[in-house]
Amino acid sequence: MVDVERVLDEAGLTNTHVREYVAHWAGVTGAERIEVVSAADDARLVQESLDAGELLPAGEGLYYSRSYFKDTARAEERTIVATNDESDKGTYNNWRPAAEMKPLLVDLMTGASAGKTMYVIPYLMAPKGSPLENFAAGVELTDNRNVVLQMIRMARVGVEYINDLGDSFVKAVHVTGDLENLGQGTPDDKRYFVTVADERTILHFGSSYGGNALLGKIAHGLRQGSYDGWKNGFLVEQFMLLGITDKETGKKYNICGGFPSASGKTNLAMTLAPDALGDRYYVEFYGDDIAWLWVGDDGKLYGMNPENGVFGVAKDTNEKTNPTAIDSIVPGTGAIFTNVAYNEKTQEVWWEGKSEKPTDLDGWLDWKGDKIADRVPENADAPWAHPNSRFTTTLANVPNVAKDFEDPAGVEIHGIIFGGRTRDREPLIRAITDIAEGVYDGLTLGAEATAAADGLEGVLRYDPMSMRPFMSYPEADYAAHWLKVIGAAKEKPIFAHVNWFQRGDDGRFLWPGYRENLRPLLWLMQLKNGEVSGVQTPVGIIPAREELNLEGLDDQALADLDTILEIDRDRWQQEMKFREEHLDQFDGLPEEIWAAHRRVADDLDKS
Ligand code: GDP
Ligand code: PGA
Ligand code: MN
Ligand code: MN
């Protein structure tokens, strides 16, 4: 039996509420050792992981890890929001009674960490001093060292973040389980990822993959956070956040926005190319996956990134698409690569779209750890890296991270955008100035699911505000809460829907995307300023071709531009019927949202 009190004393963990919680779960999981960690432990823990073979070296100060091959993405169907109030049941939150789920998880976790170390990770999902600090603290307990290393990169970790917060912390328990015997994806699936939202308790069993196991990031930073935001007057969204400064006027615009997982948030926030547009603009990175938004005492809408790092999709990340990402994972950054291909002789990593595929197969292993050179012919074309393979690096490694990224005050928000992978219909950008119509647009975000959701790649589905996998309360309440929070802001943000993924008949992307995505965003800010007027359509204001900065775009892009600036009325009218069915699922949806829907439908009929 571990001497919990002694370990916590030595670690300087003085918060009595946290101490009780740790002692309780040490008893349940039966861990053999307890260790309280902080960011300062990183080098030692990395060395231990290297010695244990859990991490492999991938160059100077770079590391490689593999997760179990049936454990490479978030498992949405196994993810549950539980509360003690049945009226919290929504359409997408997989609601279950807390009284049913808690004993089930306790049962699964009982004795499950026998012989292992239970790491105690006190964390803060906010810069210290944030007005939302009381909602941002948590303590993750995990039996997995790699989870600790990832959490140190993704969150602010150390006892100093939680000692003074009393019982204002999220209890986040992670037990990996016996990954080879969990029946992943079968009727006998034993994995459960449960957020008991009204008890601020997260219980995740059966995975070591980041999206299921880094509880500060997704379960707290999104699911629990949005429930807390609902009860306490702020918004928590799967949003990137960036700032654009116009050097000529000195004005700065901050834009946040939601695209479903693996649909371009990280790339958009990191890698816009101001230099390509004549050095007039400067673009800064704030966050790539989560934003918490609130209205300040001055009546302005503020936003902040609660994270401390980037958990980015590796596929197609290269010098051309995202040089900033490449710079943030160079030797010495401490970056961790997960489920990419690895060369056991040279210690290089590779993924599809990084560079030309290596022709010398010597030493190369695919993401499962199998030798590429030994592949049977049927398997010759299988990807080397998993499509949801990732890199993890801290914000401080991102070359264009904003100077004030740690400012607890957050930044004023001027624009909110929604987008996703939509192969037709959605134009490059359409701006929306009405708040209810903007919220309606977010609620009807429809896009193709990606490899970040296990087993669902390519499926077309509605994904309200890109929060479908993280929804914690009913969608009608969610819509009302949005109207209330944004409605309270004195200066309203402009909304827009963007689409970098429209395709031609031959399947090619019609817009070059990536660094070029700055162009439509600049147009949006000019529209907000009244410098351009755009073209009014039933679904919003789209740019007149000549209003977009097109300097330096290649001929193909210029030729395709008319198609992606077009509103296909028939397709939109068909879409309106699907939207009606989608919204009909949400009992008690605010009348303003229905009114916005009818207005768009009527305008389409008249056009
Ligand atoms: P996130 O998961 O939403 O942060 O998305 P990422 O930015 O990581 O991108 C996910 C995938 O989409 C990666 O493989 C990117 O290379 C790809 N991607 C991102 N932005 C664009 C774009 O503008 N155009 C195209 N064609 N692909 C993109
Ligand atoms: P992503 O983040 O949105 O950048 O893919 C991880 C996730 O949502 O699972
Ligand atoms: Mn995400
Ligand atoms: Mn991302």
Supply the CATH number for residue 190's domain: 3.40.449.10
Q: Does residue 63 lie in a domain region?
A: no
Please, what is the average pLDDT of the chain?
Answer: 96
Average pLDDT over residues 36-65: 98
Q: Which ligand is nearest to the CA of 290?
A: 3
263 marked ligand binding residue? yes
- The crossing angle, in degrees rounded to 10, of helices 225-232 and 475-487 is 60
Check which CATH number belongs to the domain holding 485 and give it. 3.90.228.20
265 CB less than 6 Å from ligand 2? yes
Counts for the chain of helices (H) and strands (E), in that order? 16, 31
* pLDDT single digits (tens) 367-388: 999 999 999 999 999 999 999 9
Q: What are the pLDDT digits (tens) for 35-48?
A: 999 999 999 999 99
Residue 594 belongs to a domain: yes
Buried b (16+ CB within 10 A) or exposed e, 495-504: bbbbbbbbee
Q: Are residues 467 and 339 in the same domain?
A: no
Task: Say whether pTM exceeds 0.90.
Answer: yes
Say if residue 393's pLDDT is above 90. yes
Over residues 90-113, mean pLDDT: 98
CA distances from 493 to 247, 266, 414 (A): 21, 22, 5
Q: Are residues 246 and 215 in the same domain?
A: no
- Does residue 208 share a domain with residue 271? no
4, two tokens:
């919990």
CA distance 392 to 193: 22
Relative to the CA of 450, which ligand 2 atom is closest?
5
pLDDT digits (tens, 9 = 90+) for 543-600: 999 999 999 999 999 999 999 999 999 999 999 999 999 999 999 999 999 999 999 9
pLDDT greater at residue 140 or residue 280: 140
Q: How far is CA 128 from CA 123, 158, 308, 403, 433, in A?
A: 11, 12, 11, 16, 34
298 and 333 housed in the same domain: no
Considering only CA atoms, which residue is closest to atom 23 of ligand 1? 513
In the reported structure, the alpha carbon of residue 525 is separated from the centroid of ligand 1 by a whole-number distance in angstroms of 23
368/300 same-domain check = no
Q: Whose CA is nearest to atom 6 of ligand 2?
A: 261
- Could you tell me the CATH number of the domain that includes residue 378? 2.170.8.10
Expressed in angstroms, the distance from the first to the final Cα of the chain is 74
What pLDDT is attached to residue 136?
98
Q: Do 283 and 340 have their domain in common?
A: no
- Res 501: pLDDT: 96
Domain identity same for 443 and 537: yes
Distance 270 CA to ligand 4 centre (A): 10
Residue 65 forms part of a structural domain: no
Cα torsion at 413, 575, 447, 90 (round to 10°)? 80
Query: Is 476 in the same domain as 602?
Result: yes
Residue 452 pLDDT > 90: no
Q: Which of 259, 263, 467, 502 to mutate to test the pocket of ligand 1 (most atoms within 8 A of CB)?
A: 263
Element (DSSP H or E) covering residue 195: strand 192-196
Q: Taking residues 408-431, what's their average pLDDT? A: 97
Task: Please give the pLDDT value at position 455.
Answer: 81
Q: Do the domain assignments include residue 267?
A: yes
Q: By percentage, how much of the chain surpasses pLDDT 90?
A: 94
| Residues having CB within 6 Å of any atom of ligand 1 | 259, 261-267, 288, 312-313, 315-317, 321, 500, 509, 513-514, 517
Say what the pLDDT of residue 437 is. 98
> Given ligand 1 and candidates 237, 313, 338, which is best to mutate, with the most ligand atoms within 8 Å of its CB?
313
Query: How large is the average pLDDT for residues 410-421?
Result: 97
Task: State residue 259's pLDDT score.
Answer: 97
Q: Taking 90 as the threshold, does the pLDDT of residue 460 lie above it?
A: no
> ipTM of the assembly?
0.99
Answer whether 452 contacts ligand 2 (Cβ < 6 A). Answer: yes
The answer on 341 and 286 residing in a single domain is no
262 labelled ligand-binding: yes
Q: Confirm or deny that 515 is annotated as ligand binding.
A: yes
The Cα 336–Cα 214 span in angstroms is: 14
Instruction: Show the tokens assigned to 591.
Output: 């009348």
Q: What spacing in Å lies between the alpha carbon of 289 and ligand 2's midpoint? A: 6
452 CA to middle of ligand 2, Å? 6
Question: pLDDT digits over 72-87, tens only?
Answer: 999 999 999 999 999 9
Determine if ligand 2 sits within 6 Å of the CB of residue 117: no
Cα(137) to centroid(ligand 1), Å: 30
Mutational test site, ligand 1, from 74, 267, 340, 390, max ligand atoms within 8 Å of CB: 267
pLDDT at 401 over 90: yes
Residue 328 assigned to a binding site: no
Position in ligand 2 atom list of the atom nearest CA 259: 3
Mutate to test the pocket of ligand 2, among 214, 220, 310, 311 (most ligand atoms within 8 A of CB): 311
| DSSP H/E element including 140 | strand 137-142
**In ligand 2, which atom is closest to the CA atom of 211?**
9
- Tell whether 261 is in a known binding site: yes
Output the CA 36–ligand 1 centroid distance in Å.
Answer: 36
Model pLDDT, residue 51: 98
Name the DSSP letter for residue 492: P
**423 marked among binding-site residues:** no
Whether 16 shows a pLDDT value over 70: the answer reads: yes
Query: Looking at 200, 232, 264, which one is the last position of a domain?
Result: 232
Q: In the block, which residue shows the tokens 């790649």?
A: 457
Task: Decide which of 363, 395, 427 is a domain's last residue.
Answer: 395
Whether the pLDDT of residue 278 is over 90: the answer is: no
Summarised one tens digit per residue, pLDDT across range 172-194 is 999 999 999 999 999 999 999 99
Residue ending a domain, choose from 368, 395, 422: 395
**Number of domains within the chain:** 3
Q: Is 211 among the annotated ligand-binding positions?
A: yes
pLDDT at 272: 77
pLDDT the model gives residue 277:
74
Tell whether the model's pLDDT for residue 129 goes beyond 80: yes
With CA atoms as reference, report the closest residue to 334 among 76, 125, 63. Answer: 63
Structure tokens at 296: 């300040």
Instruction: Give the ligand at the shortest distance from the Cα of 212.
Output: 2
Q: Check residue 274 and give its pLDDT.
A: 66
* 138 among annotated binding-site residues: no
Of 330-339, 449-458, 473-482, the least confident: 449-458
Cβ of 130 less than 6 Å from ligand 2: no
Report yes or no on 587 lying in a domain.
Answer: yes
Among 205, 214, 223, which Cα is nearest to 93's?
A: 223
Average of pLDDT values for 218-246? 97
- Expressed in angstroms and rounded, the spacing between residue 310 Cα and the centre of ligand 4 is 7
| Nearest alpha carbon, ligand 1 atom 7 | 264
Question: At 275, is the pLDDT very low, low, confident or very high (cuts 50, 70, 90)?
Answer: low
Q: Decide if 71 is inside a domain.
A: no
Look at residue 189 and tell me if it is in a domain: yes
- Of all ligands present, the nearest one to the C-alpha of 313 is 1
106 & 189 share domain: yes
Comparing CA positions, the residue from 263, 281, 260 lying closest to residue 272 is: 281
Q: What is the pLDDT of residue 458?
A: 76
Cα(263) to ligand 3 centroid in Å equals: 9
Task: List active site positions.
Answer: 263
pLDDT at 405: 97
| Residue 55 resides in a domain | no
pLDDT at 276: 62
- One domain for residues 205 and 326: no
pLDDT at position 174 is 98
- Which ligand ends up closest to the CA of 75? 2
Q: Please state, in angstroms and rounded to a whole number, the distance separating the CA atoms of residues 596 and 17.
A: 47
Determine how β-strand 156-157 pairs with β-strand 364-365. Answer: unpaired
The span from the CA of 446 to the CA of 448, in Å, is: 7
Domain span at residue 215 reads 4-46+78-232
- Which residues does residue 122 pair with via DSSP β-bridges, in sequence order? 139
Q: Do residue 450 and residue 580 come from a single domain?
A: yes
